[in-house]
Amino acid sequence: MAHRRILSLWFPRLGAERWQRAEPHLRDVPMATVITQGNAQTLGALNALASAAGLYAGQPVRDAHAQCADLVTRAAYEHREQAFLNALHRWAGKFSPWVAAQPPDALVIDLTGCAHLFGGETALCAQMVEECSDLGLTVRTGLADTLGAAWALARYTTGDRQQTRNGDAIDQEAPATRAKAGKRRHWERGGAAPSVTAGPAGDSRVAAPGAAWAALAPLPVAALRLPAHTQDALVRVGLRRVGDLMDQPRASLARRFGRGVLDRLDQAIGSAPEPISPARAPDRFALRLSFPDPIGLEEDVAEGFSRMTDRMCDSLTKQGRGARVIRLEAHRCDQIMHWQTVTLANAMQDPARIMPLIRLKIPELEAGPGIDMLRMEAVHTEPVHARTMAGHAEATAEAMRRRDGGRGVEDLIGRLGARLGMEAITRYHPAESHIPEKAWKTVPAAWSEAATDWPVMDRPRPALMWPPEPVMAPDVPRLSPEFRWRGRDWVTAAVRGPERIAPEWWLEDPAWRSGPRDYWDVHTTRGDRLWLFYAHGGELSSGWFCHGAFA
């Protein structure tokens, strides 16, 4: 049976190099990302020049600027670095289908049975390093039989040194030798175990099949992925290399340092299983179109987006998804990018319905001196289930008519949303309340379906409703034939009612402090049909009010 082969890809400068790809001038200066935790700011990822200046990850920003006056910093955005790692995840899928991400800066690939397709393990690692170098990324690879060994080989070598010294190692030495103790900084001669540091770009280490034990033995105990306090405890008693642990009685190690040390050691040498849980790279629907010469006419831009829309809809259809939010980008020759967002009323994969909405956004893209690249991305997608019409011809025709009618409403919502903003388009849904003004709720039209379950009322409700307005009429429960409202005199022609509605006693509503209401459907001689009520009084006085009008 073939040995299991695991490859660990570590990108020690991922955060800094992501910024360098966006701002190429940062490659020529010491640069680092800044991580903010509460009121503290520390360095995250560093480029090669910053590391050469003696800076290190976790160093306070103030100390780093004092040590390196030319240091340039950028904020560390975790979600953007995760998106960049996801892009590398998709790239690594061409080497093996079993790829797992190890946030924030590593990938793990199960290469069992795949290396011969690329000319062997050494050639495969060299190809990965070369492609990463072309992308402007620093990578260190480790290949072994186990995940733990591959992780260790990618991050540690026998020549790793520690820049600071463990004080406990000095305190345990004889007073006569303390003068010489400061010179012995190497971790094998009394110093602390080395921390993970970025080595030279393209550093690859391959352990032969079945040689994980020999490859791990000269490495520091930090290569076993142990907690910091456990590493310090092991170094304090002189166990500085993985090989030192292999020579010790297992019972003594477990009793003094915990079972975790043995578990990590067994996983690294293959005595205990450590499965890899590969995750499929998130689907991403993005296209770009570059031009040999800059363009600036709206028709040219529309034609470019039209071609990309056709290809994107084909990809969405194959994956069974529909675009809900589309981002349009116009990259100009002066290195300025303008973008617009198109929000669709429903998940769509039909270019004939999407392109009219894109055309509404094109005039808002500023061409400036010219556009040399267009980019389109479906930033939010939803699953779209295929529908098959079944039944006799009349039923099929009726179903298609309902479907096409729904599309018309969705297209209308999309066009209005493109001009006014999708959040401005709303619709009403029924709500569970007997209070007239609370019988419905407002929901976004783009993220809801048309309501079809409106309750059937025993009494009609007005088409227009407004806050209660006072009516000048005698303060008695029976409406008089004449009353005055909005500065005009009204005469009743017909009256139907009353309908008693009581307030919700479990809720405090200032509008209902006038007590129970008797609603009347009033027809006037002017032809108007009003909805009046008499408030019987509570915390506020009684009286007549107009609450709405029927159509």
**Paired tokens of 501:** 């509605």
Alpha helices per DSSP H over 376-467: 393-420
Which pLDDT score is estimated for 401? 58
Q: Which helix (H) or strand (E) holds 106?
A: strand 106-110
Pairing of strands 140-144, 204-206: parallel
Alpha helices per DSSP H over 378-492: 393-420
H helix count then E strand count, the chain: 16, 20
- Alpha-carbon distances of 410 from 236, 344, 403, 450, rounded to whole Å: 69, 8, 11, 11
- Reported as a pLDDT band with limits 50, 70 and 90, residue 162 is very low
Which pLDDT score is estimated for 300? 93
Q: Which helix (H) or strand (E) holds 444?
A: strand 440-444
Q: Give the lowest-confidence range in 60-74, 141-155, 428-442, 512-526.
A: 428-442
Look up the pTM and report it. 0.63
Q: Give the lowest-confidence range in 190-199, 493-502, 532-541.
A: 190-199
Q: Give the lowest-confidence range in 20-24, 257-261, 437-441.
A: 437-441
Q: Give the lowest-confidence range in 66-80, 341-355, 521-535.
A: 341-355
> Angle 188-194-195 (CA atoms, 0-180°, nearest 5)?
170
- Reported as a pLDDT band with limits 50, 70 and 90, residue 32 is very high
Q: Using an 8 Å Cβ cutoff, are 166 and 182 in contact? A: no
- Reported as a pLDDT band with limits 50, 70 and 90, residue 194 is low
Give the CA count within 13 Å in the CB-facing half-sphere of 252.
8
Give 509-546 pLDDT, tens digit per residue.
788 888 899 999 999 999 999 999 999 888 788 899 99
Q: Using an 8 Å Cβ cutoff, are 433 and 439 in contact? A: yes
Q: Using an 8 Å Cβ cutoff, are 207 and 148 in contact? A: no
